Structure 1
Amino acid sequence: MSNKIHVDEKWFYMTKKKENYYLLLDEGEPHRTCKSKNFVDKVMFLAAVARPRFDAEGNVTFSGKLGIWPFVTKEPAKRSSVNRPAGTLETKAMTSVGRDVIRSFYINKLLKAIREKWPREDYGKSICIQQDNARTHIDPDDPEFCQAAAQEGFNIYVRCQPPNSPDLNVLDLGFFNAIQSLRYKESPKTVDELVSAVEKAYEDFSPISSNHIFLTLQQVMVEIMKVRGDNNYKISHMNKARLQREGRLPCQLSCDNQLVENTLAWLNTM
């Protein structure tokens, strides 16, 4: 699991449709405006995360955070306003993200981040990029990506996770919800401010919490085997925070051998 990178896209909104505020008795109600409450400005991001690593003393040696990149463009303003003259470059969110754009981000941003941040002790080992089965994602055998991934001595390849299994991606399992909560601590007014807020939330997310999500992923895998590939299961509580404080948090979860054998036997009958 340490050689696997989870990637996925997510929309981040400028604000929520409904907000709760706690006000003092003499404090006025906040006034929020937008063009339409049903069409709040938003930006899509591509995120990539791997399992963090720690030394024997618990210090972070690799955060696992490879990057989060917005799908935006820079366009010159067509008209002057009180905020900027005509021709000033403005950040605009991409309204359509196709396979060519995803391929470009994989090659120019994701692969670059892997080469810069991946632990040197794993140089030369295989690295798997796990994506879901969205139509806009590249094929695992995409020739342009495969050619770029094989450069500089790296062995990087793409694999698609099982269909209809969002819990097998740590980003959907908990990472996105966590940085979404951190993002809502900010109040961006522009696309640039939204991008900065999301990037800050991504960087502020604790590697310890990220490691907890990867342990939850292992729990999910066990539960999926118990229900033979179904998604109707419940994840038991491990009290990871308490185990972390006591120094008893496992790196890997054990699995019953009989469960694995029964699962393999069931798969062979399909």
Structure 2
Amino acid sequence: MNATWQGDAPPPRARVDALGWLLVLLRGAPLGLLVFGGLIVLLTIRAVERPVFGVARPVTPYITVFVCRNALRLMGIGFYAVGRPIAGQGAVVANHSSWLDIFVLNAAKRIYFVSKSEVAGWPGIGWLARATGTLFIERNRSKAAAQSRQFRDRLQAGHKLLLFPEGTSSDGRRVLPFKTSLFDAFFAPELRDTLSVQPVTVTYRAPDGADPRFYGWWGDMDFGSHMLWMLATPRHGTVKVVYHDPIKVADFKDRKALALACEEAVRAAHLHR
């Protein structure tokens, strides 16, 4: 994730009271056990899976889906989906509002995030990202060809690569303009004629009476305090994921046209949430 969008000041947070700290304990302990226990199981199975299947992962994706779906349940966030995740070879593009998107977008179908290379070095998050198969990229033209090959190899292995074309997270009340650079990899000769891209819209509904930006994570907001508040909240809202019809890359003349079509699909569903 890349929390650099600067919007209005974040909503004020009340101090965590006694009930809140109890919820942090009751939710945080099993959540940590679920996430890190699931990761240990995943890495153990992956140690066998890798030499047999290489880049393909026929077993471990199911562990990720189980962990992410139940993580939302433990936090008390309602989840529901409209439409169906893309089947077969394809990529996914979605709007980006929060670190919670990691759990939300993996809750229905295993996907692999495409992230800036700096995230690999972030404490905790970077380690988890590497362990779960995130594809790291650098914004360097000299690396473009090599990164296109990585896209191709992962997509041809059946991985669903997910991009956040906004390039940053927002307050959850808007969809920022899509950047087009990453769409260029989809037009590689070996991918263009067969590849489809699925736009996905993620919308959060705040708890009753809370600021509509409750789940947003942006600007200079601290991850630790934001997560603490999520755990301490007695009654949560919901998150809705809309899987739009996949779009064939071959139907578009270039990356800008494809990016615009994806952005319009995501934005239209977000406006009518």
Report which of the two structures shows the higher radius of gyration computed on alpha carbons: 1
Task: Give the TM-score taking structure 2 as reference length.
Answer: 0.26
Higher strand share: 1
Task: Give the TM-score taking structure 1 as reference length.
Answer: 0.26
Higher helix share: 2
Q: Which protein, 1 or 2, shows the higher relative CO under an 8 Å CA cutoff with sep ≥ 6?
A: 2
